[in-house]
Amino acid sequence: MTIDLAVIGGSGLYNFPGLENTSRHSVDTPFGTASGDVVIGDFAGRRVAFLARHGESHTVPPHRVNYRANLWALHALGARRVIGVNAVGGIRGDMGPRVIVVPDQVIDYTHGRYTSFCDVEGAEVRHIDFSEPYTEALRRELLDAAAAAGVAAIDGGCYGATQGPRLETRAEIARMKRDGCDLVGMTGMPEAVLARELELEYACLALVANFAAGCGDEAEISIEEIFAHLAAATAEVPRILGVLLKR
Ligand code: HPA
């Protein structure tokens, strides 16, 4: 099967609007079950595979997502290019609610997640290069498509991946800022590194839902506001990907 692009939807993106002639695929993987069926269909004249990272009813929290099964399933169905759509909090001042960012670096603060396909008895140990965690050509395609679609998107930024499911303390965000993080999210890793292990092209489309703890004016972060901002940013995703696929 030829798949032109796979999309992993994060919080707020549980199905792919405009995907037509769809079929559902439940894939058995050596790593267990994926977050749900992969839905394959036509969009912008191309074959697109969609998987909801948290499940279609948002029942899988970030630390319990079976990232290995998700990427394995997409790869097994024939996907070679993957866009991870991720809700994030903004740390950098210009990365406020509803801003779209295509990050170029990652710092991983998660723990207790399976971060490698080698992590099974008898598997060959590999040390892959991860200097550049995202596929630069796919990042450029995303940025060019956003520009052509008239959607503002920031080129570059460091994604700090936290464990969740709770949001961070102000002290944790202050530390992440000192470390050089521009964004914070709970699902960017190990997805990116597992994609690299499978030699998939992978880029992240980060949608800012809120200012991270201590970065905005509010004393508390409201979940209602997070989802409202997320809905607004998510509405731009099919437009960006439509242009990307037509090029
Ligand atoms: N922190 C971590 N993940 C997030 C946030 C946040 O503030 N907002 C959306 N995803």
Task: Tell me how far the alpha carbon of residue 131 lies from the centroid of ligand 1, in angstroms.
Answer: 24
Q: What is the mean pLDDT of residues 195-211?
A: 98
Q: What is the mean pLDDT of residues 110-134?
A: 93
Question: What are the boundaries of each domain within the chain?
Answer: 5-246
Could you tell me the maximum CA-CA distance found in the chain, to the nearest angstrom? 52
pLDDT at position 245 is: 97
Cβ–Cβ < 8 Å for 169, 213 = yes
- 138 versus 1: which is more confidently predicted? 138
Residue in 159, 167, 189, 211 to alter for ligand 1 test, most ligand atoms within 8 A of Cβ: 167
Angle at Cα 36 formed by Cα 30 and Cα 37, nearest 5°? Answer: 90
Please give the sequence-ordered ranges of beta strands (E in DSSP) within the chain, or none if there are none: 5-9, 20-25, 28-29, 32-33, 38-43, 46-52, 81-90, 100-102, 105-108, 154-155, 158-161, 183-185, 201-211
Place of tokens 């723990």: 111
Which ligand 1 atom minimizes the distance to the CA of 167? 1
**In the numeric block, which tokens belong to residue 239?**
């437009």
pLDDT category of residue 219 using cuts at 50, 70 and 90: confident
According to CATH, the superfamily of the domain at 5-246 is: Nucleoside phosphorylase domain (3.40.50.1580)
pLDDT for 211 beyond 80: yes
As a whole number of angstroms, the distance between CA 142 and CA 209 comes to: 19
pLDDT for 30 beyond 90: yes
Alpha carbon nearest to ligand 1 atom 10, residue? 88
Cβ–Cβ < 8 Å for 39, 49 = yes
pLDDT for 1 beyond 80: no
- Residues with Cβ within 8 Å of 172's Cβ and at least 6 positions away in sequence, in order, are 162, 213
Task: Tell me how far the alpha carbon of residue 134 lies from the centroid of ligand 1, in angstroms.
Answer: 20
204: three-class secondary structure by DSSP = strand
Query: What are residue 63's phi and psi, to 5 degrees?
Result: -80, -10
Which ligand 1 atom minimizes the distance to the CA of 186? 3
pLDDT in tens, 33-89: 999 999 999 999 999 999 999 999 999 999 999 999 999 999 999 999 999 999 999
Task: Tell me how far the alpha carbon of residue 186 lies from the centroid of ligand 1, in angstroms.
Answer: 7
pLDDT for 173 beyond 90: yes
Task: Tell me how far the alpha carbon of residue 210 lies from the centroid of ligand 1, in angstroms.
Answer: 7
Task: Tell me how far the alpha carbon of residue 222 lies from the centroid of ligand 1, in angstroms.
Answer: 11
- Considering Cα of 69, then 74, then 77, then 79, what sign does the dihedral take? negative
| H or E element in which residue 54 lies | none
Which ligand 1 atom minimizes the distance to the CA of 230? 9
pLDDT for 18 beyond 90: yes
